[in-house]
A and B are shown apart, each in its own frame.
Chain A
Amino acid sequence: MNRIVRDDGFHPDDLEHGEFLTLERLEAGVEAPVLLQLEPDADPSDLPRHFAWISGIRIHFPNFTDGRGFSLAARLRQLGYGGRLGAFGHLIADQYSQARRSGFDEVVINELMAARQPESQWLAKSGWRQRSYQAHILRSA
């Protein structure tokens, strides 16, 4: 069973049985709000016209050293996406702060990771708001 990690700890994955569409499927046209799954090489520039049809997006991290998902999330937020945004795949607790600061709301991890890096290790990163040089720069100017 997957866990969703948020600032207040672990939660069951309410979307575990949800159907996530690929970008191609979405672009082919849908009739009700859908969930979208993006690979890290997705080009989101055309996505804004579909935003109304998207109830949630998850970005795939094939490996924790592949940081494209962080930029993709930031780009989605820059394009005006205000909905639910999650990261899934191989992410470690030490990346929680970067994920949140790039625009993700939550990180989805599998059972093995949740066992190896239990809730306390993720909660230790929940203070991500306090220590951001980028926010500090914008504040101090």
Chain B
Amino acid sequence: MYRYSEFDDAFVRARVAEFRDQVNRRINGSLTEEEFKPLRLKNGLYLQLHAYMLRVAIPYGTLDSRQMHQLAHIAEVWDKGYGHFTTRQNIQFNWPKLADVPDMLEALADVSMHAIQTSGNCIRNVTADHFAGAADDEIEDPRPTAELLRQWSTDHPEFQYLPRKFKIAVSGSPNDRAVTRAHDIGIRAVRGKGDETGYEILVGGGLGRTPMIGKVIRSFLPKDDLLPYMEAILRVYNLSGRRDNKYKARIKILVHETGLDELKDQIETEFTARRRVFPGVNQRLLESLNAHFAPPEFVDAESSEYELRRTRDPLFRTWCDTNLNRHRDPNLAIVTISLKPVAGTPGDATADQMRTIADLAKSFAHDEIRVSHEQNIILPHVPKAFLPRIHDRLKRSGLATANIGLISDIIACPGMDYCALATARSIPIAQEISQRFDELRLERKIGPLKIKISGCINACGHHHVGHIGILGLDRAGVENYQITLGGDATETAAIGKRPGPGFSAEELIPALERLLDAYLTIRLSGNETFLQCYRRLGDQPFKTALYPDSARKAA
């Protein structure tokens, strides 16, 4: 894990002091609300529907037990005893008071954490594959690159007042678990001709009102060129991105309106000039950062206890089959702890649950914790021998839900239960879906399925890339839910298509039941996933299931 240098520590503490001063200056009138707003957003502070909300960065999703304990502490002292893990590897506290926020930031600084650039029109918290350093398909650990970008982008003087927010994701594996294709910049580790690693750079991806899949702007960027290349992209965007319409201000629109080739020329020109400033910098820094992320020393623990429990305990077996991923070391497993209990709020964890997770990580899992964009928690390095004990403890804390990748493992943004921008609620929809399909006992039969729900067109719930996406809208003062089908967030990324009109909250669950019934009937076998089936047959059979009346009329 990355350990703060003296510089990092002094920086975040100075930043806390600066924010404390800004809060005071807002209260005494030196700063207007208009001026204060971007400053508080850059420090993670929103004003939401019912209260302020503090969004804390978990850079590239990596935490240790000490930090998780501190999040639990913050939740109890300044919030209502829980936190909400988001789709961008952040945690949100929903109920802070303005005057307490500097103290919360101070508590974060005590454990080398911060809320810097988790919001606002700047480069946001850099995200990465949540299996980094553990996955068996990894070309390289994406976290040193992400940390380099964190440092470079933090309070970058040129890029604090961009036309709009700017999101960067890094993946080190051919299997894309970081949704790099839906980010303003996606960075993927690739091998060059001589087997050296470099980056593939994607630009202009993003969801929101105009969803777009990122385009390759450089198929191989030598590692040493990363920072000057990033500066070149950001400078061109900062100077030329649209500022007249906030829905057209993301870089994806600039790419679209300027054309990829023309934009690429502008970026390359800027890059040539920027490159002179960074001779050999990336390479040397990355080498020193690599040392921070060296894997722990894995021990060859006896795993007979694991095998034995598997044969005897069906609950344990089911959990293992659903919630474990292959680790690069065969003696270990990657454990995903589900924050999606039946009828629960996706991504929420109580302070006690956070402590349980922290203690498990410390005792059994090399003190490493990850947060995924799918709103779950991951223990990346677990010796198999410890799995039975971990499962027992998770069960006692309501954390042993065996549903990863299944229908109830839903991504849902806070929606109108909390978010000031929302047009409808998303949490109750997620709760109803998980409850209903649990009652029907259909979850396992349906198999891999990603449902993603957003409470407005901003698409924080990634609905466009859900196999089934749900978008909550306000139709003449009533909540209405639009469905999209066939979206995909991985390396085969696709934007889902809308099969027809939306549904009221009451109509939505029955419509989903019809949809999934149809899938179960028409799939080739139990092995054909919903997405594969949709890709094979197109949307017609699913349309018929969703809109039986209009299908009948047409017949």
Q: Do A and B share a direct contact in the complex (Cβ within 8 angstroms)?
A: yes
Min C-beta distance of A118 to chain B, whole Å: 8
3 closest A-B pairs by CB: A67-B161, A101-B157, A141-B281
Quote the shortest CB–CB distance from B410 to chain A (angstroms): 35
Whole-angstrom CA separation of A85 from B407 in the bound complex: 58
Known contacts A116-B29, A121-B25; is-contact A66 B14 (Cβ 8 Å): no
Given A67, A136, A140, which contacts B238 in the complex, CB threshold below 8 Å?
A: A67
Of B7, B35, B159, B273, which is within 8 A of A92 by CB?
A: B35
Q: Give complex CA distance A95, B21 in Å.
A: 14
Q: How far is A104 from B29 in the complex, measured between Cα atoms in Å?
A: 27
- Indicate if the CB atoms of B155 and A133 lie closer than 8 Å: yes
The distance from the CB of B38 to the nearest CB of chain A, in whole angstroms, is 6
Say whether A132 contacts B281, CB under 8 Å.
no
Q: Check A137–B152 contact: CB distance below 8 A.
A: yes
Interface string of B161-173 (1 = CB under 8 A from A): 1100000000000
The answer to whether A68 has its CB under 8 Å from any CB of chain B is yes
- A133 in complex: contacting residue of B31, B156, B162, B239, CB < 8 Å: B156
CB < 8 Å: which of B11, B14, B160, B285 contacts A140?
Answer: B285
Is A94 interfacial (CB 8 A cutoff)?
A: yes
Can you list 11 residue pairs at the A/B interface with Cβ under 8 Å? A65-B161, A67-B121, A67-B158, A68-B238, A71-B158, A71-B239, A72-B239, A131-B11, A132-B155, A133-B155, A136-B151
A64 touches B21 (CB 8 A): no
Instruction: Give the residues in chain A near B29, CB-CB below 8 Å.
Output: 116
Asked if B39 is an interface residue, CB under 8 A from chain A, the answer is yes
Q: Are A98 and B160 within 8 A (Cβ)?
A: yes
Docked pose: A107 CA to B25 CA in angstroms: 20
Interface contacts beyond A67-B158, A95-B160, A132-B155: sample of 16 additional A-B pairs, CB < 8 Å, sorted by A: A64-B161, A70-B158, A71-B158, A71-B239, A74-B158, A78-B273, A98-B160, A100-B157, A117-B30, A121-B25, A121-B30, A131-B11, A137-B151, A137-B285, A140-B285, A140-B288
Residues of B within 8 A of A70 (CB): 157-161, 238
Which residues of chain A are within 8 angstroms of B273 by Cβ–Cβ distance?
Answer: 78
Q: Is A15 an interface residue (CB 8 A)?
A: no
Chain B positions 278 through 302: 1 when the CB is less than 8 Å from some CB of chain A, otherwise 0: 1011101100100000000000000
CB distance from A46 to the nearest CB of B (A): 14
Interface status of A6 (Cβ within 8 A of chain B) = no
Seen from chain A, the residues whose Cβ lies within 8 Å of a Cβ on chain B are 40-41, 64-68, 70-72, 74-75, 78, 92, 94-95, 97-102, 116-117, 121, 124, 131-134, 136-138, 140-141
Q: Which of A74, A116, A117, A134 gathers the greatest number of chain B CB atoms within 10 Å?
A: A134
A133 lies within 8 A of B238 (CB): no
Whether A138 and B281, one on each chain, are in contact in the complex, defined by CB atoms closer than 8 angstroms, is: yes
Are A131 and B238 neighbours in the complex by a CB distance under 8 Å? Answer: no
CB distance from A81 to the nearest CB of B (A): 13
A43, chain B: closest CB distance, angstroms: 9
Q: Which residues of B contact A41 (CB under 8 A)?
A: 239
Contact status A66-B243, CB under 8 Å: yes
Interface of B: prevailing SS? helix
Cα-based distance from A99 to B31 in the complex (angstroms) = 18
What is the CA–CA distance of A41 and B154 in the complex, to the nearest angstrom? 25
B10 at the interface (CB under 8 A from A): yes
Residues on B with C-beta less than 8 A from A116 are 29-30
Q: How far is the CB of B145 from the nearest CB of chain A, in Å?
A: 13
Given contacts A68-B238, A75-B235, A133 and B154 within 8 Å (CB-CB): yes
Closest B residue by C-beta to A103:
B157
Query: Whole-angstrom distance from the CB of B265 to the nearest CB of chain A?
Result: 13
- Docked Cα-Cα span, A104 to B30, in Å, equals 24
Tell whether A65 pairs with B38 under 8 Å between CB atoms, given A75-B235, A94-B22.
yes
Known A65-B161, A71-B158; contact A133-B11, beta-carbon cutoff 8 A: yes
Name the A residues within 8 Å of B31 (CB-CB).
92, 94, 117
In the assembled complex, B58 has its CB within 8 A of some CB on chain A:
no
B267 at the interface (CB under 8 A from A): no
B227 within 8 A of A: yes
Most B CB atoms within 10 A — which of A68, A71, A99, A116?
A71
Q: How far is the CB of A113 from chain B (nearest CB, A)?
A: 10
List A contacts of B21 (CB < 8 A). 124
A67 near B162: Cβ-Cβ < 8 Å: yes
- Is the pair A71, B151 in contact by a Cβ cutoff of 8 Å? no
Name the A residues within 8 Å of B284 (CB-CB).
Answer: 141
Q: State in angstroms the CA–CA spacing of A138 and B152 once bound together.
A: 10
Pick the most buried of B35, B273, B274, B284: most chain A CB atoms within 10 A of its CB.
B35
Residue of A nearest to B285 (CB): A141
- Centre residue among B10, B22, B160 by max chain A CB count within 10 A: B160
A50 to B97, CA, bound (A): 54
C-alpha gap A118/B412 in the complex (Å): 45
Least CB separation from A97: chain B residue: B157
Q: Cβ of B280: which chain A residues have Cβ within 8 Å of it?
A: 141
In the complex, A69→B11 CA distance in Å?
25
- Given A136-B7, A141-B285, CB of A71 within 8 Å of CB of B235: yes
- Smallest distance from the beta carbon of A60 to chain B beta carbons, Å? 14
The CA-CA distance from A68 to B35 in the complex, in Å, is 17
Q: Are A102 and B30 in contact (CB under 8 A)?
A: no
Contact A137 B158 (CB under 8 A): no
Question: Using Cβ atoms and an 8 Å threshold, which residues of chain A touch B38?
Answer: 65
Chain B residues with CB under 8 Å of A133's CB are 11, 151-152, 154-156
Chain B nearest Cβ from A97, distance in angstroms: 7
Distance (whole angstroms) from the CB of A94 to the closest CB of chain B? 6
> A132: which B residues are within 8 A, CB to CB?
155, 157
